[in-house]
Amino acid sequence: MDSVGIGGAPDAGAFFNDGTPDTGANTLGHIAQACARGEADEGRSGPLRLPVMDRLGLGAALRLASGIEAPGLGAAPEGLWGAASEVSKGKDTPSGHWELAGLPVPWDWHYFPDTQPAFPQTLTDRVCELAGTEGTLANCHGSGTVMLERFGAEHLRTGWPICYTSADSVFQIAAHEESFGLDRLLELCARIAPTLHEMKVGRVIARPFVGEPGAFRRTGNRHDYAIRPPEPVLTNWVQDAGGRVHAVGKIGDIFSMEGIDEVHKGDDATLMEHMGRLVDTAGDGSLTFANFVEFDSLYGHRRDVAGYARALEWFDAGLGALLPRLRDDDILVLTADHGNDPTWAGTDHTRERVPVLVAGRGAGALGQLAFADVGASVAAHLGARSTGPGRSFL
């Protein structure tokens, strides 16, 4: 559940949003409190309602992580539940996912300064060379929708790619699918990625969009070009044990297809359909690794509390339809990669602990965990050999 943090990270004070430390950030807790106060009633109303996840232990995990008693999240847990803390020095997608898969990031990521220009001239020159343009646009920190509003019309006029970054270790290139060309954008990102990876920038992200000035919109053809994990991770361990690995959402991109057999993409509604099909059809010993990104991309970064609450309630209902279909020897693990508190300062991720909820292995408290324990536990369940630092809680 991309960005569904539960507060309480012991090192939150070392991470910032617009100069404000993340101390006290709590994605789930603050959403639940806002809902209870009637401040998140757009498209929904009343207290946050997550009965399925709460029965698995979501409210209990929130209390363990941060001490918050969230309205509507007080059920007695019927699953295994705990809270996990990250040790990697980043609150970004690759850091969280790699560590959940058993590999804490072994280096410091490179981040671009919040200045204009944000990028070194040598990098900009290389982008221009590969794109065949005389320049680029933006060259700054910013959110994707704002970049389109500010530079989309000029992009159509000049043909120059829009290059921007964020507080994460990313280099993003936005271009119009029709006037610039989708294939051309993807080729540009693929060719510039090795340069960024040498700098230890985690991801190059292609951000295609369509439309006209005043009505631009991003499409579903985003593609992430991430650094390849330097050591084997959960997906490799499962393959080595003879299991197949299904990547749902952007998992294949995050791991640069390391240990991935099949990819299943789409918006979150489509991903839930993929999950339902794979629950029924994935073979014994297989791993289905999913990332539901819209909590983060549509609502967290945009600081949309009501939208985030709607997404959580939608996901909870979808989960309720999946759980009865698990076989006796299946488990389903719910967790997150970082936080993105929609009530917080700025627009970036927040450093938080994350829930760890397990269906299919009875009920009980797991306590405080490490991110890497998740990968070790899934590997143990599937009979795969784990080579990371995590310990199985199963």
Residue 2, marked binder: yes
Rg of the Cα atoms in the chain: 21
Residue 301, marked binder: yes
Q: b or e along 358-379 (b: 16 or more beta carbons within 10 Å of the residue's beta carbon)?
A: bbbbeeeebeebbbbbbbbbbb
346: its two tokens:
């700025």
Beta strands in 12-169 (DSSP E): 16-17, 20-21, 80-85, 137-141, 162-165
Is the bond leading into 230 cis (omega within 30 degrees of zero)? no
Q: 31 near 309, Cβ under 8 Å?
A: yes
Strands 223-226 and 203-210: antiparallel
* Cα gap 228→197, rounded to integer Å: 9
Could you tell me if residue 358 is left (phi over 0), alpha (psi between -120 and 50 degrees) or otherwise beta?
beta
Residue 337, marked binder: yes
Residue 296, marked binder: yes
Beta strands in the chain (DSSP E): 16-17, 20-21, 80-85, 137-141, 162-165, 170-176, 203-210, 217-218, 223-226, 245-248, 262-264, 287-290, 332-334, 354-359, 364-370
3-class DSSP state of 238: helix
* Cα gap 45→159, rounded to integer Å: 45
Residue positions forming the annotated binding site: 2, 296, 301, 337-338, 349
Residue positions forming the annotated binding site for Mn(2+): 2, 296, 301, 337-338, 349
